[in-house]
Chains A and B, each alone.
Chain A
Amino acid sequence: MARFEFPEWTESFKKWVLLLAAGAPVYLLALWAYGLRPEAIRIGYQPKQPVPYSHALHVGELGLDCRYCHTTVERAAHAAVPPAQFCMNCHATIRTDSAALQPVRDSFASGAPIKWNRVHDLPDYVFFNHSAHVTRGVGCEECHGRIDLMEQVYQHAPLTMEWCLNCHRDPAPHLRPRELVTVMGYDPPGDRRELGRRLADNNKIAPPTNCSTCHR
């Protein structure tokens, strides 16, 4: 049997081919591994919503406090997405002809709810409680980012267990006085960590790290 010989003209790029053959699997593997990291998959997740509600407009420009709509955040586990009723508090008289608001008006009139797409989703075996965090002085923007700058909400933090534990093990840099939790762009003078440490001491904030804190 004759031995196969590569033609001459392949000589020039032989080393490139070898490099490609060696490097491509490594590259693809790295792409896959890095691509599947929570930081890659989760941060930036921005699903399309049935109503193009703009937090940048309502919170950023108009100055609505988070708790105006998410009324239960200090009392309950869920920071409930508001019913159409809350929107109609203003929009019964403002922008009554806007086509973008038609789903809201329809919902209010008929009683059929609006089906929002959840942005910040945790697995079913995790039980997160908003009130435990908000009442201790963890700001909304710590986990949700600068909502007041988002035209359409995207996920700002990976919300992985590792990420949560990093704060639970060292809450000081993420704490602020309780009355300032809804402030966006919080930047206190002085050392943030020192301020947080003092807040933790005064308010007896000692976040637990046992499993049953979140897994029940």
Chain B
Amino acid sequence: MPSLDPKNKTRDESAPNESVRNESVRNESASGSGTATHWRSLSDLVAQAEAAADGTGDGGGDAAVDAYLEQRIPDHDELFGDPLSRRRFMQIMGASVALSGAAGLTGCRWEEDHIIPESQRPEDYVPGVPKKYATSMSLGGAGYGLLVTAYDGRPIKVDGNPDHPNTGRGSTSFVQASLLELYDPDRSRVVERRRGRKPLPANWSDFDDAAVAWTQQHSATKGQGLRVLSEATTSPTILALRDELLRLYPQARWHEYEPLSRDNERAGTRIAFGRALRVQLQLAEARIIAAFDADLFGDHPDCLRLARDFATGRDPDENPTGMNRLYAVESGYSVTGGSADHRLPLRSELIKPFLMALEAKLQGGSPPPASKALADAKLQKFLSALAGDLIQNRGRSVIAVGPTQPPEVHALVARLNGLLGNSDTVVYTAEPDPDRPHHNDDIVQLASDMRKGAVDTLLILGGNPAYDAPADLDFAGALDQVDNSIHLSVYSDETSQACNWHVPRAHYLEAWGDTRTHDGTVTIAQPIVEPIFGGRSAIDVLKQFVGRGEEPAEHLVRAQILGAMGVTDPRPSEGEGAQEAHSRADTAWRRALHDGFAPRTAFATEKPQVQPFTLAPLTPTQGEARLKNGSLEVVFTVNTSTYDGRFANNAWLQEVPDFLTKMTWDNAALISPRTAADLGVKHEQMLEITLDGRALKVVAYVMPGQAPFSIALAVGQGRRRAGRVGGLVEEGIVPVGFDAYRLRSSKAPMVASGGNVRGLRDKYRLSLTVDHYNMDKIGQDGIAQRIPDLVREATLEDYKKPGYDINEEAHSEDIAILSNPTKADRANRSLFKEPRYDGYKWGMTTDLSKCTGCNACIIACQAENNIPVVGKEQVWRNREMHWLRIDRYFQGDPDDPRIAHQPVLCQQCENAPCEQVCPVGATLHSEEGLNDMAYNRCVGTRYCLNNCPYRVRRFNFLRWDWYKEMDEPRAQVRKLLFNPDVTVRSRGVMEKCTFCVQRIQNAKIQAKNNRVPIEDGVITTACQDACPTGAIVFGDLNDRRSRVAALHARPRAYAMLAELNARPRNVFLARIRNPHPELG
């Protein structure tokens, strides 16, 4: 059995000095020497450059490429973790069939199945028919309005609630994956009690008794020594319980902490306006959007609405007055940077001098730059273009800044927006809890109080401060000074281990609650299922402390919702008039519960005036263009897989490849190519990063587009007690990734200065999904040259020219016609008798202008179609199972590249190459144009995968981990997760995107039963539902009024690899960029 610890693997270093190579490569691609313009990763670029330099036509004799191929096509002898090979399996099965045949004929039937109906069926319940319920989820205080699909009383899919006024129909990858957490066998099931670190047996009644004792103790002391540490919450019910708690115990204190805090914004608005306000960006009204270290579409509580609004301004066909233009200035590459028309990599601390220079330009002056770092010519050009655009579009622009920037930068941005008159595009709403201290200050205060011995009882509601609190506070050590520490959490994690009590928390799908979305709309969370493991919610625990232990949480939430709607709710016993009022309240409540939110409860918007303030002087490093090792910038970023670490045990999120780095099951220190060359550090090399006396060993990832001298470190991995997926050191399960929290101090929790990098000798193998399916050198060349054809783009100027056709650039007229889906139909140049599609003709469009790369569609597909998780090792072997992938290509200078990306799923070709080669007829074409897959017929030849030019088929090489787990009794809960409408595939079977055929069939059957036609928009695929921007549209092409038919006819619609005459039903809408004329 090979060692599972990836850190032990070493790799032969056969590639010659890479820094020299990178230099020549950079020169070549910058000058556009006629080789390919797109590249997928730095090693891709290296291989291409070598190919060009070599001049030989084949791969033979080129050592670097050989080594590269050797890495990509590993030997197959070791079947990871599965001792049973296919041949042996057939032998055993053959024997058992013979035995069963001889034994007796009635014994030949498969095992008995049972039908277990309810004893009493609830009204309106039809077994096997899904029901949808509105609920909501909270992540870092941000609320999301959700619609959950439940089958037979168990939730199997989470989507956005299309009726919600703020978040709407889309969802984020975290929302989609939150379902897996509900059925996680590693969830805590029992109350734990600890003396020292040893757990003692305990149950809920022990906890209830203890709670009574604590409340009595603290009533006597008026709450002296009672503290509550909560994660960020906007829940009206919890905040009301908090207020009640503080009234009952005046000396108690409520602390709030969030490791990825957004509080710098409130601190900033306090500087700018004198009070804490929340920024509400109205991107739909904006022509120019400038994002400074702000990942608006990826890491923002309002990201769904922002992405949607941005996309409406992005469609060149539906915006006759003009498209918007997005500038991004950031230290790390984000999805916002990927969607930007212009991007400037700039380390985070330089954003303040940049904005100061921008302010000077906007005010008409042109003083010398305050920082030498701004003296760069390219930067100055960017700055003047941006300033020019902003001046020209006064009142219709947005300047946004991210949470890692210090408060005074937020204030500066508020001042700039005021200067530009952006009172319609940047509005403010009052913060609902303005007096709350900054998260960072709060945790520092609490830790200090704990060490002083001032805390007797500490109730920690959610969160994981022992893991994610700033490392200099040593929160776990401080917990030893607390007499009674109670941790309410979904998993028994690092903090639970350090506390006296751990009580299992109910998942948000199991409990009553509420939240507020970013705009303030009060959104209701209702339970879809009873707590599977008997957990309790934060509301349940809190109400015990205020003497409301007997009142159900539902009543408390109901009271808050009715209050928010302004509806009084008298008890029905209070006389005649009260009866009526109560039933009116009841109706209002049921309506709100059905819709999922309380209408018209958004915060009132304001347009305040900026008051004068001065900025602090620049620090010494802010004046430098170049930084030396030892004074490097380290930026702690959100982890797109685990957020802040809470999803470390979520296999779906761990396995989804990060959009920019394509990394799975890991995190890394992202370093720009130039800085890596300066430091002598290579890709996949282990480093030791030292910051302020603390050290961390982490792998290096050389990331094109990362700002020089700035290292991006995603937090949220390296967890010691996450579970069997994320890391469980006490059971020998190696933690995934590296714990960046160990470097964080409370003095610089977001952006730190003074980092030192030391390269180590070890190598670390990363499982990246980029560069998969990459074959020989000729193939590589061909692919690279073909990429501009696959991912097509145009500028707005070109697009607006009359008679523009994206397919014009194709090399022959035939290809031009085949590329254009409507023209191809009319031309009908085939020699064969083509089938006619007179009934439904399913098709899809994917709009590359609108796709931001958020990854929500990938996880939605995984949830809907029972797609297994394969694990880090198998991803490295190119065996990831996602039916939908997002290809990401870089263009241009490795230190400052542009990104082109493309979500690719099964193109459902009318002339499918895969159908033609299946020897057993497992994949056939339906009358509606779908490429059907009959899993039971597949024998595993994999010829279809080989023949697919789009490489969209996935083969189940092994029985994946979750199957083996199913044999364990404690893992049986995982079975509840499966979508019953989709076959669960086993080993040896091919699968691929089916356009959610189960949804199509169900809709067709329902429609035909009721004898009504299917309207456009009734059938939506899972990816379409998840996409917040509406980039994916599915429908019936034969329905002339359908949106998809209209989109197929757009001038920027093209089919990928059309010259192969596969006639795909999925058509891409080319990305239209809107560059500034000076920047090009």
A210 contacts B927, C-beta separation under 8 Å? yes
Return the contact of A211 from the options B108, B117, B933, B1005 (Cβ within 8 A).
B933
Chain A residues with CB below 8 A from B761, complex form = none
Q: Does A82 contact B (CB under 8 A)?
A: yes
The CA-CA distance from A131 to B1004 in the complex, in Å, is 12
Chain B residues with CB below 8 A from A85, complex form = 119-121
Return the contact of B982 from the options A40, A113, A216 (Cβ within 8 A).
A216
For B119, B983, B1000, B1005, the residue with the greatest tally of chain A CB atoms inside 10 Å of its CB is B119
Assuming A40-B105, A42-B109, is B114 touching A125 (CB within 8 A)? no
B90-125 contact mask (Cβ, 8 Å, vs A): 1 or 0: 000000000001100110111011111111110000
Assuming A42-B109, A47-B112, is B926 touching A216 (CB within 8 A)? no
Q: Does B73 contact A (CB under 8 A)?
A: no
Query: What is the predominant secondary structure among interface residues of chain B facing chain A?
Result: loop
Question: Which residues of chain A from 52 to 102 have a CB within 8 Å of any chain B CB?
Answer: 72, 74-78, 80-85
Chain A residues with CB below 8 A from B120, complex form = 83-85, 108, 111
Q: Does B128 contact A (CB under 8 A)?
A: yes
Identify the stretch in A3-11, A114-122, A169-177, A179-187 within 8 Å (CB) of chain B at 4 or more residues: A114-122
Number of chain A interface residues as a range: 35 or more
Q: Does A191 contact B (CB under 8 A)?
A: no
Chain B residues with CB below 8 A from A78, complex form = 127-128
Q: Does A201 contact B (CB under 8 A)?
A: no
B926 contacts A212, C-beta separation under 8 Å? yes
A83 contacts B983, C-beta separation under 8 Å? no
Q: Does A32 contact B (CB under 8 A)?
A: yes
B106 contacts A108, C-beta separation under 8 Å? no
A45 contacts B109, C-beta separation under 8 Å? yes
A99-110 contact mask (Cβ, 8 Å, vs B): 1 or 0: 000000001101
B109 contacts A32, C-beta separation under 8 Å? no
The CA-CA distance from A206 to B749 in the complex, in Å, is 66
Return the contact of A213 from the options B110, B983, B994, B1001 (Cβ within 8 A).
B1001
Chain A residues with CB below 8 A from B998, complex form = 127, 216
A213 closest partner in B (C-beta): B1001
Q: Does B984 contact A (CB under 8 A)?
A: yes
Q: Does B669 contact A (CB under 8 A)?
A: no
B4-16 contact mask (Cβ, 8 Å, vs A): 1 or 0: 0000000000000
Q: Does A165 contact B (CB under 8 A)?
A: no
B115 contacts A211, C-beta separation under 8 Å? no
Assuming A84-B120, A116-B116, A208-B927, is B1009 touching A125 (CB within 8 A)? no
Q: Does B602 contact A (CB under 8 A)?
A: no
B106 contacts A76, C-beta separation under 8 Å? no
B105 contacts A132, C-beta separation under 8 Å? no
B114 contacts A215, C-beta separation under 8 Å? no
Chain A residues with CB below 8 A from B109, complex form = 41-42, 45
Return the contact of B114 from the options A107, A117, A216 (Cβ within 8 A).
A117
Return the contact of B1001 from the options A72, A124, A216 (Cβ within 8 A).
A216
Chain A residues with CB below 8 A from B110, complex form = 121
Q: Does B607 contact A (CB under 8 A)?
A: no
Question: Which residues of chain B from 953 to 1009 have a CB within 8 Å of any chain A CB?
Answer: 981-984, 994, 997-998, 1000-1001, 1005, 1008-1009
Assuming A78-B128, A111-B120, A123-B936, is B1005 touching A212 (CB within 8 A)? no
Number of chain B interface residues as a range: 35 or more
A212 contacts B997, C-beta separation under 8 Å? yes
A110 contacts B105, C-beta separation under 8 Å? no
Chain A residues with CB below 8 A from B936, complex form = 123, 125, 215
Q: Does B1012 contact A (CB under 8 A)?
A: no
Assuming A80-B126, A211-B934, A215-B932, is B101 touching A36 (CB within 8 A)? yes
A115 contacts B1009, C-beta separation under 8 Å? no
B113 contacts A41, C-beta separation under 8 Å? no
B119 contacts A117, C-beta separation under 8 Å? no
Chain A residues with CB below 8 A from B909, complex form = none
A215 contacts B983, C-beta separation under 8 Å? yes
B932 contacts A210, C-beta separation under 8 Å? yes
A112 contacts B128, C-beta separation under 8 Å? no
A114 contacts B117, C-beta separation under 8 Å? yes
Return the contact of A41 from the options B108, B982, B983 (Cβ within 8 A).
B108
Q: A91 to chain B: closest CB distance in Å? A: 14
B105 contacts A81, C-beta separation under 8 Å? no
A80 contacts B127, C-beta separation under 8 Å? yes
B931-961 contact mask (Cβ, 8 Å, vs A): 1 or 0: 0111110000000000000000000000000
B112 closest partner in A (C-beta): A117
A75 contacts B1009, C-beta separation under 8 Å? yes
Q: Does B930 contact A (CB under 8 A)?
A: yes
B111 closest partner in A (C-beta): A121
Q: Does A23 contact B (CB under 8 A)?
A: no
Chain A residues with CB below 8 A from B994, complex form = 212, 216
Q: B276 to chain A: closest CB distance in Å? A: 52
B935 contacts A125, C-beta separation under 8 Å? yes
The CA-CA distance from A101 to B727 in the complex, in Å, is 53
Assuming A77-B128, A110-B119, A123-B936, is B1009 touching A210 (CB within 8 A)? no
Q: Does B615 contact A (CB under 8 A)?
A: no
Chain A residues with CB below 8 A from B1008, complex form = 132, 135-136
B1010 closest partner in A (C-beta): A135
Chain A residues with CB below 8 A from B997, complex form = 212, 216
The CA-CA distance from A10 to B110 in the complex, in Å, is 45
The CA-CA distance from A72 to B925 in the complex, in Å, is 32
Q: A36 to chain B: closest CB distance in Å? A: 6
Chain B residues with CB below 8 A from A83, complex form = 117-121
B112 contacts A211, C-beta separation under 8 Å? no
A215 contacts B126, C-beta separation under 8 Å? no
Q: Does B677 contact A (CB under 8 A)?
A: no
Chain A residues with CB below 8 A from B935, complex form = 125, 215
The CA-CA distance from A82 to B125 in the complex, in Å, is 12
Assuming A131-B1009, A215-B936, is B114 touching A112 (CB within 8 A)? no
Q: A182 to chain B: closest CB distance in Å? A: 17
A111 contacts B128, C-beta separation under 8 Å? no
The CA-CA distance from A74 to B930 in the complex, in Å, is 27
Q: Does B20 contact A (CB under 8 A)?
A: no
A208 closest partner in B (C-beta): B927
Return the contact of A32 from the options B102, B127, B926 (Cβ within 8 A).
B102
Chain A residues with CB below 8 A from B546, complex form = none
Assuming A83-B120, A211-B924, is B102 touching A76 (CB within 8 A)? no
A116 contacts B924, C-beta separation under 8 Å? no
Q: A96 to chain B: closest CB distance in Å? A: 18
B922 closest partner in A (C-beta): A211
B119 contacts A112, C-beta separation under 8 Å? yes
Chain B residues with CB below 8 A from A211, complex form = 924, 926, 932-934
A118 contacts B113, C-beta separation under 8 Å? yes
B129 contacts A75, C-beta separation under 8 Å? yes
Question: Which residues of chain B from 482 to 502 have a CB within 8 Å of any chain A CB?
Answer: none
A113 contacts B924, C-beta separation under 8 Å? no
Chain B residues with CB below 8 A from A41, complex form = 105-106, 108-109
The CA-CA distance from A177 to B114 in the complex, in Å, is 32
A35 contacts B932, C-beta separation under 8 Å? no
Return the contact of A113 from the options B117, B927, B932, B984 (Cβ within 8 A).
B117
The CA-CA distance from A85 to B119 in the complex, in Å, is 6
Chain B residues with CB below 8 A from A213, complex form = 1001
A114-154 contact mask (Cβ, 8 Å, vs B): 1 or 0: 11111001011101010110011000000000000000000
A127 contacts B981, C-beta separation under 8 Å? yes
Task: Identify 14 residue pairs between A and B in the complex whose beta-carbon atoms are under 8 Å apart, listed by A's number.
Answer: A41-B106, A41-B108, A75-B126, A78-B127, A111-B120, A113-B119, A115-B116, A117-B114, A127-B1001, A210-B927, A211-B924, A213-B1001, A215-B983, A216-B997
A residues with CB within 8 A of B:
32, 35-36, 40-42, 45, 47, 72, 74-78, 80-85, 107-108, 110-118, 121, 123-125, 127, 129, 131-132, 135-136, 208, 210-213, 215-216
Pairs A-B, 8 closest by C-beta atoms: A210-B926, A211-B932, A118-B113, A212-B932, A35-B105, A78-B128, A216-B998, A125-B983
**Known A32-B102, A36-B101; 11 more pairs at CB < 8 Å:** A35-B108, A45-B109, A74-B1009, A77-B1005, A118-B114, A124-B984, A125-B983, A132-B1009, A211-B934, A212-B1000, A215-B932
